[in-house]
Amino acid sequence: MDVKVHELLNQQINKEFYSAYLYLDFSNYFKAKGLDGFANWYMVQAQEERDHAMLFYTYLQNENMPVTLDAIAKPDKVFDSHMAVLQAGLEHEQYVTSLINDIYGAAYDVRDFRTMQFLDWFVKEQGEEETNANDLISKMELFGADPKSLYMLNQELAARVYSAPSLVL
């Protein structure tokens, strides 16, 4: 495996674990505000991100490449509104999309088709993640100012359950 591709894949493990920490922090914010449904939604997001990290980890191991685990940075943002959390979530997903695209580009440059095929799932997943984040913002814009509607949105988000990724390595 190309040195740069290996380095980027290894870094992505840490980035995905950071994403899980970030979403746990978002979950904590909403739990403290009494919005258990929103807290649940971000708890599920955290589980997904943890599994994404493990997919990168397993891929490198399956390719007989060393894995180096780095320290996970502490999320450091303080939010002053529910919408600020949701917008930070969208911005973070856009950032992760850029990271996946960078790895894909590096793999493309060296004709690493196996890594490109592995990343195809993540490209699709990031499209879904950005759509979900945008949809949540739209719903908050529509319903967030009305307490009854916010309650119903919270109930909708409480129903979300975790399902493991279907990517086979």
Q: Please tell me whether residue 119 adopts helix, strand or coil conformation.
A: helix
Structure tokens at 54: 């493990």
38 and 156 Cβ atoms separated by less than 8 Å: no
Question: What is residue 118's predicted lDDT score, i.e. its pLDDT?
Answer: 97
Q: Dmax over Cα atoms in the chain, in whole Å?
A: 54
Q: What is the pLDDT of residues 89-131, one digit of tens each?
A: 999 999 999 999 999 999 999 999 999 999 999 999 999 999 9
Q: Per residue in 2-15, pLDDT tens?
A: 999 999 999 999 99
Q: pLDDT band at 162, cuts 50/70/90? A: confident
| Measured distance CA(109)–CA(78) in Å, rounded | 39
Q: Residue 8: exposed, middle, or buried by beta-carbon count in 10 A (0-12, 13-18, 19+)?
A: buried
Helix-, strand-, coil-residue percentages of the chain, each rounded to 5? 75, 0, 25
Domains defined for the chain, CATH in brackets: 3-158 (1.20.1260.10)
- Alpha-carbon distance of 132 to 168, in angstroms, equals 23
Contacts for 96 with CB less than 8 Å, ≥ 6 apart = 15, 16, 19, 126, 129
pLDDT at 169 over 90: no
Among the listed ranges 22-36, 41-55, 151-165, which one has the minimum average pLDDT value? 151-165
The first and second tokens of residue 62, run together, are 């399956």
**How far is Cα 148 from Cα 153, in angstroms, rounded to an integer?**
9
Over the stretch 46-77, which tens digit does the pLDDT of each residue have? 999 999 999 999 999 999 999 999 999 999 88
The residue with tokens 């309650």 is 151
